[in-house]
Amino acid sequence: MKKNKNNITEEQLKNQFAKKYLAYALSTITQRALPDVRDGLKPVHRRLIYAMHLLDLTSKSSFKKSARVVGDVIGKFHPHGDQSVYDALVRLAQDFSTKYPLINGQGNFGNIDGDNAAAMRYTETKLTEVSEFLLKDIGSETVNFRKTYDGELSEPTVLPAAFPNLLANGSSGIAVGMATNIPPHNLEEICSSIIHLNNHRDCSIRDLLKILKGPDFPTGGILNLDQKEMIKTYTTGRGFFELRAKYKVEDLSKGQYQVSISQIPYQVNKSKLIEKIADLIINKKNKLIDNVIDESDENIRVVIRPKNRNIDPVVLMNSLYQQTDLEIKFFLNMNVLNHKLEPKVMSIKEILYSFLKHRYIILEKKSKFALNKINIRLEILKGFLIAFKNLNNIIKIIRNSNNPKAELVKKYRFTENQVNAILDMKLRSLRKIEEKEIKEENSKLLNKKKLLMKLLSSKSLQKKEINKEMEDLILQFGNNSAYGLRKTVIEKFNRIESSELDEELKSTDPITAILLKTGFLKAKIGYSVCKVNADFSENEHLYVNGRKSDKFIFLSSFGKSYTLDGENLVFGSQKGKPFSSYFSLKENEEIVDSFLYKNNEKILLCSSNGYGFFINSDNLISNKKSGKKVFNIKKNDFLHSSVQIHKDQKYIFLLTKNKKENRASVISMKDIPTQEKGVGIILFKGKKVSLFALSTVSAKFEMLDNYTTPVKKSLNLKKFLIPRTKNGKIIKYNLFFSSLFRGYENNFKLIS
């Protein structure tokens, strides 16, 4: 950095940018966003409370307009926008934002629905008893003061804080490159922890957390009990807590019930929460809920009505925990300013110890201040006693001397304070009774001095005094006070597995997937029944009936298996959507078969040239758009069809064709292998013969047209029983074969 001849400083722009941004960042960190670990306040909050203290707005005084307070703050201490200061004031008065409100507000100060407070000209404020504890002994030279921004007034750098505000009310803020987020806690637990730490300085965080159970939010709720995670979070100063709404199940008539929510997670907007639940109902994203009603007055009451009485309320609430802010993660970041105004992420023990150390410093300073006042008063009282003994002479000197002050000092060796007090004494005080009172006051002050001297020299007495302060706080603000018991319950969450819950949330509306000969897939709402070929419209190949909650398996000519959730089908298109929009198909690859997935079912896969094997349905599931290869296709062959095997089925019915004739064969299942992947074995023989249709046959040589009903036909299937290596017997095709049951429920495939 250098100056030119015009006395202008020259420097590279990047260096100036770096310096100015660093100054801005430090200012934001220390003067705006992060709280002081000692009083738990940011500058704007500290200035609000101190300005109200100067206005004498105690908890017992009358209210003053908020505009007056805001005006004093921005005019004397905080040169920022009035709205930002008013917003900070409002938050300190909201009992749903601040666990132990620092400001008593009169008027509309907003609500949990997110409605704004009334304008500052309409609302009124004064301090609460909690704020008075923060200010306690501020006039006893306990804290340092600094000049305000204009240099005219002074403001405290920190408050004496006889109340552990940082942990009791928490704090949040975003600085430059860092942030803080500290939850509120229960005061009785905080004070008990401070007492324990004061008595056992080497105690562990685990010991402290036996007393300080965890956050206690003003809106209540249920906190997940995870001791291991909680210890880690409070040790490192970073982590998260899982918080849920509190609810109860209310029985109604005829076995019906409803769920009423009485507490919601901290900082969740109730109105937006209800809008989200309503949106789930309208868009059918949660099939368990029928209605949501806001019945709140001064207390929260949100009523959830289930679709039917058979829905488990635990499942219903778990679905809402997953889909809405009825369950949140509160992220903890205990980043605060230490006594040197340096940002630091502290553990819970460090925060408690910092407050404890601050209280020891305040105790020492206020004791020294009191001791100094006593010494000054004792000095004056000593002068008064000398004056009473020599009253006539002193009166004579005062009456006759040109400079009585100097003469009194010279004759009786009075100090400056003593002689000033004597000269200021009123004549009516010169009575015998006054001398007696002075002697009594002198005696009392000597005793107080003795106690203060003892306190200042004894660490054990100081420890007792600090412990007594905490005990007094417990009496005034603890669980047995008007502030009441802990609001946030800590218990282990009753969780339902995410996959299980996803299934519960899926819509069960009936749907039909229709495979078209053009290579398109059409989907529509509702079921379709096609018993014979005549029921199929032109271009239709296969009907698969199911529900939106089902998984659909699709088999391709290349021996691949694809999986598609019913809710992901595209509905409403008359022409359908190409399979390529659902799957990554290769050139000339076609979808040849489809059915609903059911776990652990036995499926027979068969190629056009007669190769086949059994496969478990679970091995056909694929989460990839590119599918899963399950059948190794030989040259000039393709995967043709499939059939589901039921427990009473013993044989496979195969219908084959060539240019001249149709042949049928019934073969035993015994020789057919079960594989996860492969080509299997040959199921039929013949030159230029290809598979036409597949079905199953029972031990009684009956073929079913659904799960239980035998086909009422005169066809003698037993005569077609042959070894699988031989050619089938010639059979005449008729409409009977258009309704072959393939083992899949509500599944209809065109036989052609």
Around Cβ 212, how many Cβ atoms within 10 Å? 25
**CA distance linking residue 14 with residue 22, whole number of Å:** 12
CB 741 within 8 A of CB 721: no
**CA distance linking residue 642 with residue 597, whole number of Å:** 13
**CA distance linking residue 748 with residue 594, whole number of Å:** 10
Q: Tell me the CA distances in angstroms from 30 to 39, 165, 180, one per residue in order.
A: 14, 18, 12
State whether residue 236 is helix, strand or coil.
helix
**CA distance linking residue 178 with residue 635, whole number of Å:** 65
Pairing between β-strand 222-224 and β-strand 489-491 as defined by DSSP bridges: parallel
**CA distance linking residue 487 with residue 288, whole number of Å:** 29
How far separated are the first and last CA of the chain, in Å rounded?
91
State whether residue 82 is helix, strand or coil.
helix
CB 601 within 8 A of CB 649: no
Which residues have CB under 8 Å from 40's CB, separation 6+?
Answer: 161, 164, 165, 166, 167, 168, 169, 171
Around Cβ 152, how many Cβ atoms within 10 Å? 8
Pairing between β-strand 257-263 and β-strand 302-306 as defined by DSSP bridges: antiparallel
- Of 122, 149, 527, 707, the catalytic one is 122
Closest CA to 126 of 81, 170, 69, 80: 69
**CA distance linking residue 224 with residue 489, whole number of Å:** 9
**Active-site residue, 353 included:** no
**CA distance linking residue 293 with residue 295, whole number of Å:** 6
Which positions are catalytic?
122
